[in-house]
Amino acid sequence: MKKLTLTLGLLAFAAPSYADKLDDIIASGTLRCAVVLDFPPMGMRDESNNPIGFDVDYCNDLAAALGVNAEIVETPFPERIPALMSGRVDVGVASTSDTLERAKTVGMSIPYYAFENAVTVNDNSGITDWEGMRGKTVGATAGTYEAIWLEGQINEWGEGTFRPYQTQADVFLALSQGQLDATVSTVEVANANVASGNFPGISVVDKAPMVPDYVALFTLREEYGLINYLNLFVNQQVRTGRYAELYEKWIGEGEPADLTIPGIYR
C-alpha cells in the first residue's frame, strides 16, 4: 500500500505539464505587454507620465478579454525581442512589422494595424516628392520598417546617404537642424511632429511608395495557443468596431486600413 502511494505520488510529479503561455497568463492574473512609448500616437506618455496611446489601449483590451490585469512594459524598438525571450513580457503590442525574416524568430499574429508612410523634408532641401530623395542625406528611426525600406532604396539608387537614429525625436531634430534632408516615417508620426511646432522648418511633401506597413502582435513562436487567441482577438476588435473606435480616438478622422477578409471576416 505504501509502495503504491509512493508510486502514484511520483507519477503525479513525473506527468508532463501541458500548461502553455495562455494558461500561464490566465493563472498569473497579469498580461505583460511590450509597448514602445516613443512612438506617438501608438505609444507615448501623458503629462503625468502614464503610458497612453493606441497600443496601450489595445493591450488593455486584450487583458480585459483574458480577464486579467494589463501591465505595460516600456520597450524601445531594438529591445522588443530580448524582452520577450528573457520572459519579461508575454506579448508585444509594439507596432511590429510582420516581415518574413523576423517571423523566423518570433510568432506573429494577423495584422492589427497598417501604417502608410510619408516623406517629410527640411524646407531648405528643395525636395518636393519621394524621388527627390535620390542622392540626398536621409534618415529614419533605427529598427523600423521604414528605415529598412529607406536604406534599401538608397542602396538601389546607389547614391545618397542613409543614417539611422535611435529615437524618433532624434530623427526629427536632425531633420530640423538640416543634418538630414528628408525622412520617411508613418503618416501619423509625421503629422504629429510637424503640428507639434517643436521642429521648425520641416514639412510633409509626399507619401512613400511602400507596401503599407502591416504590424502584428507577437509572442514566442511556439505558443500556438496564444497566437490563435491573438488572431481571434484582432478579428474581434475589427468586427466589433473597437478598431475603428481606437483609430478615431488616437489617429483622428478618416478611414483606418481595411483589415477584413471579404466573405470570411468582417
Position 162 contacts another protein (CB under 8 A)? yes
Position 102 contacts another protein (CB under 8 A)? yes
| Residue (of 155, 28, 37, 157) closest to 94 by Cα position | 37
Among 65, 81, 187, 210, binds another protein (CB under 8 A): 81
The strand order across the sheet containing 91-97 reads 69-74, 30-35, 91-97, 213-219, 107-115
Instruction: Answer for the pair 143, 151: CB distance below 8 angstroms, yes or no.
Output: no
| Residue (of 124, 136, 130, 121) closest to 203 by Cα position | 121
Binding mask 25-64 for another protein (x = CB under 8 A): ----------------------------------------
Binding mask 218-237 for another protein (x = CB under 8 A): --x-x---------------
Q: Report how far residue 53's alpha carbon sits from residue 66's, in angstroms, rounded to the nearest whole number.
A: 20
Position 150 contacts another protein (CB under 8 A)? no
| Closest CB 39 distance from another protein, rounded Å | 14
Among 9, 29, 67, 78, binds another protein (CB under 8 A): 78
| Closest CB 197 distance from another protein, rounded Å | 17
Grid cell in block for residue 89: 513580457
Position 126 contacts another protein (CB under 8 A)? no
Q: Report how far residue 55's alpha carbon sits from residue 34's, in angstroms, rounded to the nearest whole number.
A: 9
Q: Which residues contact 40 (CB under 8 A, 6 or more apart)?
A: 53, 188, 189, 192
Position 109 contacts another protein (CB under 8 A)? no
Gyration radius of the chain's alpha carbons: 22
Pick the piece of the chain touching another protein (CB under 8 A) from 49-57, 124-132, 174-182, 249-257.
174-182
Pick the piece of the chain touching another protein (CB under 8 A) from 47-55, 173-181, 208-216, 231-239.
173-181
Position 172 contacts another protein (CB under 8 A)? no
Position 148 contacts another protein (CB under 8 A)? yes
